[in-house]
Structure 1
Amino acid sequence: MVIDSHQHFWVYDEERDSWITPEMEKIRKNFLPADLEPVLKTNGVDGCVVVQADQSNQETEFLLQMAESNDFIKGVVGWIDLRADNLYDRLEVCSQFEKLKGFRHVVQGERDGFLEQPDFIKGVRQLTAFNFTYDILVYPTQLEASYIFAKELPNVRFVLDHIAKPYIKKGEIEGWAKDIKKLAELPNVSCKVSGMVTEADWYNWKNEDFTPYLDIVFEAFGANRILFGSDWPVCLVAAEYGAMKDILATYVAKLSKDEQKKIWGDNAVKFYSLD
């Protein structure tokens, strides 16, 4: 089974979705299951995990409604206030939704020190009581803090989104590589190979631009802890789905069939406990 472990849906709202800048005009519109399903079929993808793009309870409800109506949506990574006093009770309610697999906070948009907050750490720790996962969304400058954060929570299952958004367009790799390798030392952290094209030159990237970064990720995490993700529709600003998927397909062609099977879907099924 091939699983896209990272994509989004939204009904475009100019104010709420202000992160979609004018230069990203191509995605300043609605993206819903009916738009994605034929794309997945065309590219040989059997199912997907939809991830929050807005930090609200309404966002989680919106994603769950679509997941319940579309079998190809295998899991939901929603948002919840992980610092709320009544978090445990809210997680207990959330646990009733079979397709709700985990949560994410847009830490890349937060101030330095956000991951060090005791109330946030306490909240993430509570995810284990209900077998929920946590997606780490950070920039390279936040990787060191992510290591300290994840090390303090060894029982939480973490996955790093978008290989931490290295500065591919600039060709910068050394600091990112050092911190990625450090984070990968923690056995409870996996990594999504996703979102790379948006960190490259949107109009002039080549498959080879990603090879040095993929070399580091595969050396650090190994085939057992790497998940394929598209970051659709965000990826569309730089690449169509097939072109984006081909970057990884070309790279993993040298691996064994078993390793490829893990990366394309088995690891996602295991990490998110997908049916």
Structure 2
Amino acid sequence: MSTPPIVDAHHHLWDLSVRDQDWLVGPELAPLRRNFSLSDLAPEAAAAGVGASVLVQTVTVAAETPEFLALAAGSPLVAGVVGWTDLTSPAIAEVLAELRELPGGEALVGIRHQVQGEPDPNWLLRPEVLRGLAALADADLAYDLVVLPHQLPAAIAAARLLPQLTFILDHLGKPPISTGELAPWVDLVRELAALPNTVAKLSGLVTEAHWANWTMASLRPYAQAAIDAFGPRRLMFGSDWPVCLLAASYGTVLSTARTLTAGLSADEQAELFGGTARRTYRLGRSRKAT
């Protein structure tokens, strides 16, 4: 029996000749200050056995999402796009409908906002944001949560208020791996996972650890906590390429995830490395409103 192709549920692309990535500041991020294209990713993905991917927004610029959809339209690899649009806009339903009509629009599977950069820890609970999140549910889209641990309480509250919307926790909520602390992150993740409309990505862990000298032992408590909380049918693998390159190669990130989940059955691993992403994002199926 052949192994099903892996789904990489979280990666990025950018072209600095099109626009600046304003988050790439400081000498430590210098390795990322270059273009990263599908032609760079494709051989890495193929070598790792990845057959489909989800391309995720990087900047809060509306023009990026149509560009990503166009890439998906011409790529056998990119099966889904998590884009960005202004959640606070009264016209969000119309904007989502327009995105769906663009080339590659059927690949739009979710929306993400850089909540981690919002100074208000309760940003997700603002009335205009909750209205926008409800519009995502109406459009049959998911919402990717990119939050820091102190923002998890608001994420939990929002997920409770909007049970019709699937919330996908990116990078396990950025746990403090570099310090080795588990509390209060672990309790908050368990609280979020107790809600049936939540899913999480086993992604971004190596860059939350010490980049130069992370170990499997430093990652294991966090990965195991997520496995215990969400279970493999609500966890999905993501490379977080090319950000992961600060700490590990594409192949190393995948092999690390394999090692961290080695205790799962073959069926459970098939879910975590593909089934969950396909089901949650409904990859390969038209998402146009009917």
Q: Contact 2:65–2:84 at 8 Å: present in 1 too?
A: yes
Matched, 1:5 2:9: yes
Question: What residue number does 2:128 align with?
Answer: 119
Q: Which residue in 1 is equivalent to 2:209?
A: 200
Shift of 1:64: 1.0
Counterpart position of 1:20: 24
**Structure-2 separation of matches of 1:127 and 1:106:** 16
Runs of 4+ in 1 over 2 A off after TM superposition: 12-16
CA deviation after TM superposition for structure 1 residue 149, in Å: 1.0
Residues 142-181 of structure 1 mapped to structure 2, 5 A cutoff? 142-181=151-190
For 1:50-129, what aligned pairs fall within 5 Å after superposition?
50-96=55-101, 97-112=105-120, 113-129=122-138
Deviation at 1:145, TM superposition (A): 1.1
Q: Is the 8 A contact 1:162 1:193 kept in 2?
A: yes
**CA apart distance, 1:183:** 0.5
Distance 1:196 1:222 in 2: 18
Q: Summarize deviations over 1:19-66 as a string: whole Å, max 9, x none.
A: 123211111100010000000011111110000001111110111111
Distance in 2 between residues matched to 1:144 and 1:16, nearest whole Å: 32
Give the Cα–Cα distance (whole angstroms) in 2 for the partners of residues 116 and 157 of structure 1.
Answer: 16
1:66-114, Cα deviation, whole Å (9 max, x unpaired): 1111111000000011111111111222233111111000000002221
Confirm or deny: 8 A CA contact 1:9 1:50 kept in the other structure.
yes
Query: What runs of 5+ residues in structure 1 fail to find an aligned partner?
Result: none
Aligned residue in 2 for 1:47? 52
Counterpart of 2:271 in structure 1 is: 262
Percent of pairs with identical residues: 40
1:27–1:234: 8 Å Cα contact kept in structure 2? yes
Kindly provide the amino acid, as one letter, of the partner of residue 14 in structure 2.
Answer: W
Deviation at 1:15, TM superposition (A): 7.9
Q: CA–CA distance in 1 between the matches of 2:18 and 2:76?
A: 29
- Give the counterpart letter for 2:70 in structure 1: Q
- Contact 2:93–2:139 at 8 Å: present in 1 too? no
1:133 Cα offset (Å) = 0.7
Q: 1:43 corresponds to which letter in structure 2?
A: A
Amino acid at match of 1:235: C
TM-score by length of 1: 0.97
Matched residue pairs, number? Answer: 275
Residue of structure 1 in register with 2:288 after alignment: none
Aligned letter for 2:116? Answer: Q
* Aligned-residue offset at 1:14: 11
State the Cα RMSD in Å: 1.3
How far off is 1:151 after superposition? 0.7
Q: Unaligned regions of 5+ residues in structure 2, if any?
A: 285-290
C-alpha displacement of 1:17: 1.6
CA distance in 2, matches of 1:261, 1:52: 26
SS at match of 2:87: coil
Q: CA deviation at 1:18?
A: 2.7
Normalised by the length of structure 2, the TM-score is 0.92
Decide whether the 8 Å contact of 1:161 with 1:194 is kept in 2. Answer: yes
Q: Is the 8 A contact 1:95 1:130 kept in 2?
A: no
